Amino acid sequence: MKIVLIGSGNVATQLGLALYRKNFNIVQIYSRTKVSASLLADRLHTSYVTDIKKITTEADLLIFSVKDSAIESILKKMPLGQGLYVHTAGSVPMDIFTGYVQRYGVFYPLQTFSKNKALSFEQIPILLESYNPNDEQLLYSVAEKLSKKVNFISSVSRKHIHLSAVFACNFTNHMYTLAADILEKQGIDWSLLLPLIEETLEKVKIIPPKDAQTGPAIRYDKKVMQSHLQLLDEKIQRDIYKKISLSIHQHATSNSKHD
């Protein structure tokens, strides 16, 4: 099976490396950025093109790992073949391929990727979608070599999953950033918080997160919350503090109503 990778960013890099480790045949990388295209091609021991017209039409599987808005603009310009065309985006419906190719689908790994942080794919959920039922087996056979957690999911479900991932990953990471900012201003290394954030995660492996909630907001301890707000210099930090605290409080209230 000949695979083409379209893109050379975080997802393309880690997915490419995972495929390479499992001996898949990656025949070409396309990226408009020469530096990152050549870097990834080196790591995957393959060749690259930066000219969209030179994307091969002789591939069995073409994987688009580019930013959402680039998928369609690349489709419009590239030469199209008979292979299976898939993208890796959480929020882009499968039917973005409609009218361009006959065989298409989605190959969405539910994970946060960085170019230079290696990770194992084994536990990463890979969420698949295929326009033609006939192509499900091909997609599945690739995914199951990488991961133990492979599922077929509709575009609508995937969009909700992607939204939940924004909260669980992107917004969580920003909570870490805001916490680090506060400590940095006090000259304290943010690694002081690592045992706390590890335990925060350990707890929700065994208790649903709404039952694991602790802190001043769930007690609705106005005195503590007020004193915290006074320590925050920027309005946006105070807005975030207030909105999340209110939401925690509302969840606590609606939980106890149901008890």
| Closest CA relative to residue 91, chosen from 132, 124, 129 | 129
Other C-beta atoms closer than 10 Å to the C-beta of 107 total 24
Distance between the two ends of the chain, CA-based, in angstroms?
A: 55
Q: Contacting a copy of itself (CB under 8 A), which of 45, 137, 236, 258?
A: 236
**Closest separation in Å from C-beta 119 to a copy of itself:** 6
Beta carbon nearer to a copy of itself, 48 or 121: 121
Beta carbon nearer to a copy of itself, 145 or 159: 159
C-alpha 191/C-alpha 48 separation (Å) is 40
**Closest separation in Å from C-beta 102 to a copy of itself:** 26
| Closest CA relative to residue 127, chosen from 116, 115, 136 | 136
C-alpha 216/C-alpha 56 separation (Å) is 58
C-alpha 11/C-alpha 57 separation (Å) is 23
* Contacting a copy of itself within 207-226 (CB under 8 A): 207-210, 212-219, 221, 223-224
**Closest separation in Å from C-beta 57 to a copy of itself:** 29
* Contacting a copy of itself within 130-169 (CB under 8 A): 149, 157, 159-169
Calculate the CA dihedral of residues 61, 62, 65, 70 and round it to 10 degrees: -150
Query: Would you count residue 170 as binding a copy of itself (CB under 8 A)?
Result: yes
**Closest separation in Å from C-beta 58 to a copy of itself:** 32
Other C-beta atoms closer than 10 Å to the C-beta of 43 total 15
Q: Contacting a copy of itself (CB under 8 A), which of 43, 56, 172, 220?
A: 172
Query: Would you count residue 198 as binding a copy of itself (CB under 8 A)?
Result: yes
C-alpha 39/C-alpha 29 separation (Å) is 10
Give the angle 143-83-46 at the CA atoms, nearest 5°: 70
C-alpha 51/C-alpha 100 separation (Å) is 19
Query: Would you count residue 246 as binding a copy of itself (CB under 8 A)?
Result: yes
Other C-beta atoms closer than 10 Å to the C-beta of 46 total 18
Strand-pair category, 104-109 with 126-130: antiparallel
Beta carbon nearer to a copy of itself, 51 or 259: 259
**Closest separation in Å from C-beta 27 to a copy of itself:** 28
Query: Would you count residue 10 as binding a copy of itself (CB under 8 A)?
Result: yes
**Closest separation in Å from C-beta 80 to a copy of itself:** 24
Chain CA centroid to CA 56, Å = 27
> Segment contacting a copy of itself (CB under 8 A): 31-39, 73-81, 97-105, 183-191?
183-191
* Contacting a copy of itself within 75-104 (CB under 8 A): 91
* Contacting a copy of itself within 99-128 (CB under 8 A): 110-114, 117, 119, 123-125
Q: Contacting a copy of itself (CB under 8 A), which of 22, 34, 54, 185?
A: 185
